[in-house]
Amino acid sequence: MRLQADNISVKLGGRRVLEGVGFDIEPGQVIGLLGPNGAGKSTLMRALTGQLPAEGAMRLGAHDLASISPAARARLIAYLPQQRIIGWRLTVRDLVTLGRLPWRAFGRRPDSGDEAAIARAMEMADVTPLADRIATELSGGEQARVLMARAIAQQTPLLIADEPASGLDPAHQITLMQSLNRLAENEGRTVLVSLHDLTLAARWCDRVMLLNKGRLAAFGTPETVLSEAHLAEIYGVKAHRARDEDGLIIAPVGLTERQNRD
């Protein structure tokens, strides 16, 4: 489904932390949300998921996100928060099964459609070998993958993931981005994912949004948005950009002179 936002602003603690953010995202794409710490990435994601009051208009397909019920929202948007908290001593399979709750009448056992969605989500997040382990007894990166599997199992048209790659080893970072691309390309889902790794964003995102101080500084292909000039101006870093047959490689290697003086 198409995701549209028009002039979104959010005030927190009396301070405007998002200001006039607008975009229009066609379905079937992985969109990277980038920007320095405090730029407003989580705030934007929480506004889109109805967790924060926001000014402006947000639509997903024909749905006005400001006025839909929580039950309808849970069938439209899956959200992976930045804080990875697992509250219950559940097995990994049972925790991923919770992702199916929006689609099941209360108390009904998972049917074959649910089971297929759960198995596929566990495979995409590479947690199938952990299925019978207690989720709270897993490592930080393993827990992150389990929570990602739960969000994927929800099978919503929009998947919003706040720093899903943080804490993952390099192989699992790539597996994650491959899975998000499969969801977008094969199933037409819209994926909005915040990232701090510039190379992951450059190679795996169709489009990149760059937030700075609560405003949308740039939105476009990784090639244009993650330019040396933007990286210097917004992140305050000097970066090497190189290219191989699979795309762009961006490695921050130092601070700009301005950043060094600050």
Ligand X SMILES: Nc1ncnc2c1ncn2[C@@H]1O[C@H](COP(=O)(O)OP(=O)(O)OP(=O)(O)O)[C@@H](O)[C@H]1O
What does the binding site for ligand X look like in residue numbers (CB under 6 A)? 12-13, 15, 17, 35, 37-43, 82
* Residue 180 burial by Cβ neighbours in a 10 Å radius (0-12, 13-18, 19+): buried
Shortest approach of ligand X to residue 199 CB, angstroms? Answer: 17
Strands (E) located in the chain: 3-12, 15-25, 30-34, 55-60, 63-64, 77-80, 158-162, 190-194, 207-212, 215-220, 237-244, 247-255
Q: Reduced to 3 states, what is the DSSP secondary structure of residue 57?
A: strand
Q: Which is nearer to ligand X, 38 or 247 (CB)?
A: 38
Cβ-based nearer residue to ligand X, 39 or 122: 39
**Min CB(46)–ligand X separation in Å:** 8
β-bridge partners, 240: 251
Q: Which residue is nearest to ligand X (CB)?
A: 13
Tell me the H-state helices in 80-159. 92-97, 112-124, 140-153
Please state the closest distance from residue 236 (CB atom) to ligand X, in A. 14
C-beta of 52 vs 68, nearer to ligand X: 52
Token pair for residue 261? 């003086």
Nearer to ligand X, 46 or 100 (CB): 46
Mention every residue, 6+ apart, whose C-beta is less than 8 A from residue 253: 237, 238, 239, 240
Q: Which of 153, 234 has the CB closer to ligand X?
A: 234
Question: Cβ of residue 162: shortest distance to ligand X, in angstroms?
Answer: 7
Question: Min. distance of Cβ 94 from ligand X in angstroms?
Answer: 29
Closer residue to ligand X, CB minimum distance, 42 or 97: 42
Residue with tokens 């740039």: 218
Q: How buried is residue 206: exposed, middle or buried, by Cβ count under 10 Å (0-12/13-18/19+)?
A: middle
Cβ at position 41, least distance to ligand X in Å: 4
Contact 110, 104 (CB under 8 A): yes
Question: What does R_g of the chain's alpha carbons equal in angstroms?
Answer: 19
